[in-house]
């Protein structure tokens, strides 16, 4: 036999046998592997959302899958977002649980991470994950002090960047959840909550706070003053001047202006134009790429179209776009959140600042939150 033929023959036979053996091995193990993956997902979902009996998965993009969890009687129990984002060393994959209103976190599980063992890796520790339960995104990281407000999380000592990454991914998870599920399944906490929904956890709280809004504003302030430490740092209550100061940039002339105090010291403002239509401005903050971002977002109080955005605090890196690019910010005007970054399946999304996708994404998350806060603020004064 010629040596060339023998070479080809032997290699082919070896490759064929190898393929056959592997095919058999795969047949044998694949159901088990699939089951492991499904089990892992289901297990994570059950950890972050209470009372899960069954779930439906929907892949939103290549980093995100949304699980709609149902309880044993078929009602929606909550939502889980399986999402991947970048951490300190590499990708971090999380399962984030949301309540039925999509506003409050019900749990957090770290599925995959390659953070530094002993430091960033501590994001998998129970106390860190527990912190997220009951919080309302957008969440922020605080260092060195105990978190007081419902959107604050304490960083892991020595691993601030990993902690921030987790927070950023959680915030993104919410904006992805809000922008990708049909509007019908999202009901803002207070205003339309009474519809056909069940009296669940979130709604009970809504009912309580709705009752609270009936009391006089003065009394409500006092209650909060006892509850919140950060209130002490607040400016003296002169609703008109504070409101005018913030809102005069977007509305002129202002006929009436009033501050709507919110439970976490980030206020909202309602201003009326001469013609009678009103503009609502909300202060929102969240975590950007480098540091926190604080914005004032002005929206039409009727249809929540954005009228203007003012940057109150922002310290993003100079190198990757400090985020002050006016063409980026002007894109928001006239549009109604929830918004998302432009992508193949979202041609009319927002163009990111070139070189600063992370920052742009963070800004969009914060602006989406602004709408939820505006709805909340309006329902406070309506009652």
Partner 1 sequence: MKKAFVNGLVKENPVLVGLLGLCSVLAVSNTAINSVFMAAAVTFVLVFSSLIISIIRKIIPDQVRIPSFIVVIATFVTIADLFLKAYFPEISKNLGPFVPLIVVNCIILARQEAFASKNPVHYALADALGMSIGYSWVIILLGIVRELLGFGTIFGHRVLGAWFHPFVVMLLPPGAFITLGVMVGTMRWIQAKASKS
Partner 2 sequence: MNNIWLILIATILVNNFVFSYFLGICPFLGVSGKASSAIGMGFAATFVMTMTAFVTWLINRYILIPYNLEFLETVSFILVIASLVQFVEMFLKKVIPSLYKALGIFLPLITTNCIVLGLALLGSMRNYNLLENVVFGFGAGIGFTLALTIMAGIREEIEFADVPEPLKGGGITLIIAGLLALAFMGFSGMLGGG
- For binding to partner 1 (CB under 8 A), which residues are involved? 3, 6-7, 10-11, 14-15, 18, 21-22, 25-26, 28-30, 32-33, 36, 40, 112, 116-119
Q: How far is CA 305 from CA 211, 281, 374, in A?
A: 29, 11, 11
Q: Which stretch binds partner 2 (CB under 8 A): 43-51, 161-169, 227-235, 249-257?
A: 161-169
Q: How far is the CB of 109 from partner 1 (least distance, A)?
A: 14
Residue 94 touching partner 2 (CB under 8 A): no
- Cβ nearer to partner 2, comparing 18 with 51: 18
| Backbone dihedral angles phi then psi of residue 42, each to the nearest 5 degrees | -60, -40
Q: How far is the CB of 288 from partner 1 (least distance, A)?
A: 28
**Given candidates 100, 103, 106, 165, which one binds partner 2 under the rule CB under 8 A?**
165
- Cβ nearer to partner 1, comparing 88 with 289: 88
Sheet containing strand 292-300, edge to edge, reads 254-260, 268-273, 278-287, 292-300, 306-314
Q: Which stretch binds partner 2 (CB under 8 A): 220-228, 264-272, 298-306, 348-356?
A: 348-356
Residue 320 interacts with, from partner 2, partner 1, none (CB under 5-8 Å by kind): partner 2
Q: Token match 């403002």: residue?
A: 269
For 330, the token pair is: 């002007």
CA 303 from chain centre, in angstroms, equals 22
Residue 32 interacts with, from partner 1, partner 2, none (CB under 5-8 Å by kind): partner 1
The SS3 assignment for 331 reads coil
Q: Token match 């006892």: residue?
A: 226
CA dihedral 308, 312, 318, 321 (to 10 degrees): -20
Cα–Cα dist 28/278, whole Å: 66
Q: Token match 């770290």: residue?
A: 110
CA atoms in the 13 A half-sphere facing the CB of 32? 5
Residue 90 interacts with, from partner 1, partner 2, none (CB under 5-8 Å by kind): partner 2
**Given candidates 12, 54, 86, 194, which one binds partner 2 under the rule CB under 8 A?**
86
- Cβ nearer to partner 1, comparing 7 with 223: 7
User: Under the rule (CB under 8 A), what is the footprint of partner 2?
Assistant: 18-19, 22, 25-26, 30, 62-63, 86-91, 116, 161, 164-165, 168, 289-290, 317, 320, 354-358
């Amino acid at each position: 036999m010629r040596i060339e033929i023998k070479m080809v023959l032997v290699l082919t036979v070896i490759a064929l046998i190898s393929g056959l053996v592997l095919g058999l091995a795969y047949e044998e193990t694949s159901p088990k592997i699939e089951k492991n993956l499904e089990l892992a997902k289901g297990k994570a979902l059950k950890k972050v959302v209470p009372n899960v009996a069954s779930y439906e998965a929907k892949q939103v993009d290549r980093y995100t899958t949304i699980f709609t969890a149902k309880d044993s009687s078929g009602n929606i129990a909550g939502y889980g977002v399986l999402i991947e984002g970048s951490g300190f060393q590499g990708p971090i994959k999380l399962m984030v649980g949301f309540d039925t209103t999509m506003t409050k976190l019900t749990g957090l599980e770290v599925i995959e991470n390659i953070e530094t063992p002993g430091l960033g890796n501590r994001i998998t520790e129970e106390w860190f994950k527990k912190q997220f339960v009951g919080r309302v995104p957008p969440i922020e990281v605080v260092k060195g002090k105990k978190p007081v407000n419902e959107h604050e999380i304490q960083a892991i000592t020595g691993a601030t960047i990993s902690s921030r990454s987790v927070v950023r991914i959680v915030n993104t998870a919410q904006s992805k959840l809000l922008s990708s599920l049909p509007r019908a399944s999202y009901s803002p906490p207070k205003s339309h909550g009474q519809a056909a929904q069940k009296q669940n956890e979130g709604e009970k709280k809504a009912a309580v706070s709705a009752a609270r809004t009936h009391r006089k504003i003065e009394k409500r302030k006092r209650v909060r003053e006892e509850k919140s430490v950060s209130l002490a740092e607040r400016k003296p209550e002169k609703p008109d001047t504070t409101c005018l100061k913030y809102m005069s940039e977007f509305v002129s002339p202002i006929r009436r202006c009033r501050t709507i105090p919110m439970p976490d010291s980030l206020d909202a403002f309602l201003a009326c134009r001469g013609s009678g239509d009103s503009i609502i401005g909300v202060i929102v903050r969240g975590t950007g790429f480098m540091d926190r971002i604080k914005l004032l977002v002005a929206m039409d109080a009727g249809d929540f179209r954005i009228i203007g955005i003012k940057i109150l605090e922002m310290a993003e890196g100079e190198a990757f776009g400090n985020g002050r690019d006016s063409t980026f910010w002007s894109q928001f005007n006239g549009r109604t959140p929830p918004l998302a970054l432009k992508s193949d399946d979202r041609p009319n999304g927002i163009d990111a600042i070139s070189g600063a996708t992370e920052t742009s994404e963070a800004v969009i998350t914060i602006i989406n939150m602004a709408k939820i806060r505006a709805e909340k603020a309006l329902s406070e004064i309506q009652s």
